[in-house]
Structure 1
Amino acid sequence: MAYTDKLKSTRVYIAMGDGATPETFTNFCGINTKGLQQTRATSDTTDWDCADPDAIPITVRDAGAADWTISGSGLLHRPLLATIQTAFETGDPINFRFMYDEKPADQVIDGYYQGPGFITDFNQTGTNGEYVQISITISGAGKLNFVASS
């Protein structure tokens, strides 16, 4: 039998750059649900058969703009609150990473996704008897690249 070569979600994290040179990235500790979504807009045109106008037409589709979003939710790591709040308030894009952190002895994915973005959604919730939870959405402000580790 051959089973799926799986990766535990604890080996994936979201990180934010500090804008310095060289840039240092901080892991959003406490975020335990992480997601990366890539989308592509399309331009659709209906094309009719000139030789048989009664035939069912086909759809011709061209690729349009690409977009991406990183989302995460989990526990509030109190030392990061001011950093995330400042990033939310800035009008300048910040570099973000969606990191795969595999153990070196078992590494298959060798790299990470990185691109400029804005924190467009930042929620904090607290329920008595539980710990404060946060959720963030980062919307792309430029190209998302897969960067192979060296």
Structure 2
Amino acid sequence: MAYTDKLKSTRVAIMMGDGATPTEVFSPMCGITTKGFQQTRATNDTVDWDCADPDATPITVRDAGATDWTISGSGLLHRPLLADVQAAFDSGNPTNFRFMFDELTGSEVIDGYYQGPGFITDLNITGNNGEYVNISITISAAGPKTFVANP
């Protein structure tokens, strides 16, 4: 039997860069417990007719179009995170983000991450009496992403 080599979601983090040069430091967005990374690709579709048999059913010819990515997350609001997230939202400039996988397997660390510049496009903070304050965030691409695998 062979089972899936699983990754615990507690070992996935959304990380925000500090913009420092030459070496940018990425810190995890503490409190975010629901995390998502979505990639999409647009296509350009054209209907092509058979010249030899115009009554035949045409086919769709599809070409690759633009790509896009988003990172989303939600969870408890970590107070020290609020100032940095609000500054990134207010600046109107892209911030570098990572969607990172990091898990110990035996004596080694298996990790990898997607990274790219993004804008915080949705920032929601909610609270109910008797409960802790929650945050949800959406980061939309402001440029290409890269994937770095470190086995």
Fold equivalence (TM over 0.5): yes
3-state SS, counterpart of residue 29 of structure 1? coil
| Residue 2 of structure 1, CA deviation | 1.8
Give the strand-richer structure, 1 or 2. 2
The C-alpha deviation readout for 1:37-76, integer Å capped at 9, x for no partner, is 0000110000000111101000000001100000000000
| Residue 105 of structure 1, CA deviation | 2.5
- Superposition map of 1:111-126 within 5 A: 111-126=112-127
| Residue 149 of structure 1, CA deviation | 3.1
Identical amino acids, percent of aligned pairs: 76
Match for residue 6 of structure 2?
6
What is the number of equivalent residue pairs in this alignment? 150
Match for residue 19 of structure 1?
19
| Residue 106 of structure 1, CA deviation | 7.0
Amino acid at match of 1:65: A
The C-alpha deviation readout for 1:103-141, integer Å capped at 9, x for no partner, is 153768531100000000000000111110000000001
Match for residue 138 of structure 1?
139
Match for residue 61 of structure 1?
62
Unmatched 5+ stretches in structure 1: none
Q: Determine if the alignment matches structure 1 residue 37 to structure 2 residue 35.
A: no
TM-score of the two chains, using structure 1 as the length reference? 0.95
- Runs of 4 or more above 4 Å deviation: 106-109
Unmatched 5+ stretches in structure 2: none
Change (3 A) 1:47 1:11: same
Match for residue 84 of structure 1?
85
How large is the Cα RMSD of the aligned pairs?
Answer: 1.5
